[in-house]
A and B are shown apart, each in its own frame.
Chain A
Amino acid sequence: MRLILLLCIFLSGCSSTAVPIVMKFPDAPPSLMTPAADLNKLPADKKIEMSDIIQTTNANSKLYYELKIKYEAWQEWYKEQKSIADQLK
């Protein structure tokens, strides 16, 4: 009886081994890592006409829509990567 008890104590003595396995942090898509550009201003060295204002607005809205695409892509990237990482738990 004492031997069986001793056996149980010894056999359960090594059950606290921790195994650290780390999943690589996911890369970000390269196109999302480019810095955001400043908005375009009207040139100070020429006579400004209405067409210049519309051109500049058009160029600025292009920058906005590019950033909108990247912003939405970051959200999608996060959601997807989180759902993948959650599967490891």
Chain B
Amino acid sequence: MWYLQFMYSLIPDSWIELATYAILATGITLYILSKVVAWIPFIKGYKLPMELVGVILYGVGAFYAGGYGVERMWRERVQEVQAKVKELEGRQAEVVKVIETKVITKIKTVEVVKEVIKQEIIEKEKLINANCDVSPDAIEMFNKSVTNPELLQTPAGETK
């Protein structure tokens, strides 16, 4: 089936449009002629076949003309939406870039400030540690407090 669609896509749109309207016009013409030939004695036998063929061609032509009109409308709509999507995708990428830059800048600020504090603590180490013993319980509690609570929780819901 795909090759039929492929072949169909090779035909220029203007040819398809022309063929569609030609079929429709032939159908209408044959139908009108069938009414006329009914009055002409030596070809009046052709009235019924002309009328039948005329109506069939008219139907087929109208169907394809309608289908082609809808197709053309959708193609225009698709092009319009595709252009909009392309523009919005560009904006999406722009947002990602802006946020990435913002995050990197802010994290750098945090790192700088924390490094300054770290150096200050090192400088004042002796002063901070003077007359201050840290009990093993305090260390244990500290480590417990920074441990991921999910790791501390037993399946029964008790804390380890």
Query: A residues engaging B (CB < 8 A)?
Result: 3, 6-7, 10-15, 17, 19, 21, 23-24, 26-32, 38-42, 48-56, 58-62, 65-66, 69-70, 73, 76-77, 80-81, 84-85, 87-88
Q: A24: which of B31, B69, B89 is its contact (CB, 8 Å)?
A: B89
Would you list 8 pairs from A and B whose C-beta atoms are within 8 A, ordered by A residue?
A11-B69, A13-B66, A15-B70, A19-B77, A27-B93, A42-B142, A56-B142, A81-B95
Interface residue tally for chain B (C-beta within 8 Å)? 54
Number of A-B residue pairs, CB cutoff 8 Å, is: 145
Chain B nearest CB: distance from A65 CB in Å?
A: 5
Considering the complex, which residues of chain B in the window 72-109 have a beta carbon less than 8 Å from any beta carbon of chain A?
A: 74, 77-78, 81-82, 84-85, 88-89, 91-93, 95-97, 99-100, 102-104, 106-107
SS of A interface (majority): helix
Chain B nearest CB: distance from A32 CB in Å?
A: 7
Query: Which A residues are CB-close (under 8 A) to B66?
Result: 10-15
Whether A17 contacts B99 in the complex (CB less than 8 A), given A11-B69, A66-B107, A69-B107, comes out as: no
Chain A interface: which of B9-17, B36-44, B114-122?
Answer: B114-122
**8 extra interface residue pairs, beta carbon distance < 8 Å, beyond A31-B100, A81-B92:** A6-B62, A15-B66, A24-B89, A32-B103, A50-B134, A53-B142, A58-B114, A60-B146
Query: Which B residues are CB-close (under 8 A) to A85?
Result: 88
Q: Is the CB of A53 within 8 A of B69?
A: no
Complex CA distance for A40 and B147, rounded to whole angstroms: 9
Query: Which A residues are CB-close (under 8 A) to B69?
Result: 11
Complex CA distance for A32 and B107, rounded to whole angstroms: 11
Chain A nearest CB: distance from B18 CB in Å?
A: 18
